[in-house]
Amino acid sequence: MKLFADIYRGKRVLITGHTGFKGSWLAAWLTQMGAVVGGFSDCVPTTPSHFDAMNLGAHLEADVRGDIRDREAMVKAMRQFRPDVVFHLAAQALVRKSYEDPALTFEANMMGTLNVLEAVRACPEVQAVVMITSDKCYRNDELVWGYRETDHLGGHDPYSASKGCAEIIAHSYFESFFKEGPACATVRAGNVIGGGDWALDRIVPDCARSWAAGQPVQIRSPWATRPWQLVLEPLSGYLWLGARLLLGLNEPFNLRSQAYNFGPAADVNNTVAEVVEALAMHWPGFTSEMDKNGQAGMKECTLLKLCCDKALAHLNWKATLTFDETIRYTAEWYHCFYKGQEGKQARNMLDFTLGQIAAYVNAAEQRNQVWVK
What Rg do the C-alpha atoms of the chain give, in angstroms? 19
The backbone torsions φ and ψ at residue 16, rounded to the nearest 5 degrees and listed phi first, read -85, 140
d(CA 27, CA 350): 11
Model pLDDT, residue 297:
44
* CA 185 to mean position of chain CA atoms: 15
* Separation of first and last alpha carbons in the chain: 6
Instruction: Catalogue all structural domains in the chain, each as residue range(s) with its CATH number.
Output: 10-294+301-366 (3.40.50.720)
Q: For residue 143, which of 9, 287, 304, 22 has the smallest C-alpha distance?
A: 304
Q: Is 329 a catalytic residue?
A: no
Q: What is the pLDDT of residue 249?
A: 83
Query: What is residue 341's predicted lDDT score, i.e. its pLDDT?
Result: 57
Tell me how many degrees the CA angle 240-244-250 measures, rounded to the nearest 5: 135
Per-residue pLDDT of the chain (373 residues), as tens digits, is 899 999 999 999 999 999 999 999 999 999 999 999 999 999 999 999 999 999 999 999 999 999 999 999 999 999 999 999 999 999 999 988 999 999 999 999 999 999 999 999 999 999 999 999 999 999 988 777 889 999 999 988 999 999 999 999 999 999 999 999 999 999 999 789 999 999 988 899 999 988 888 888 888 788 888 889 999 999 999 999 999 999 998 778 999 999 999 999 887 888 898 999 999 998 877 777 766 454 444 445 567 789 999 999 999 999 999 999 999 999 999 989 988 755 555 568 999 999 999 999 999 999 999 999 8
Per-residue HEC secondary structure of the chain comes to CCEHHHCCCCCEEEEECCCCHHHHHHHHHHHHCCCEEEEEECCCCCCCCHHHHCCHHHHCCEEEECCCCCHHHHHHHHHHHCCCEEEECCCCCCHHHHHHCHHHHHHHHHHHHHHHHHHHHCCCCCCEEEEECCHHHECCCCCCCCECCCCCECCCCHHHHHHHHHHHHHHHHHHHHCCCCCEEEEEEECCEECCCCCCCCCHHHHHHHHHHCCCCEEECCCCCECCCEECHHHHHHHHHHHHHHHHCCCCCCCCCCEEEEECCCCCCCCEHHHHHHHHHHHCCCCCEEECCCCCCCCCCCCCCCECCHHHHHHHCCCCCCCHHHHHHHHHHHHHHHHHCECCECCCCCHHHHHHHHHHHHHHHHHCCCCCEC
Considering only CA atoms, which of 317, 192, 164 is closest in space to residue 242?
317
Give pLDDT, residue 214. Answer: 87
The pLDDT assigned to 224 comes to: 84
Cis peptide bond N-terminal to 45, omega within 30 = no
Catalytic residue of the set 159, 173, 238, 360: 159
Residues 6+ apart with CB under 8 A from 257: 171, 174, 175, 178, 179, 184, 185
> What pLDDT score was predicted for residue 345?
56
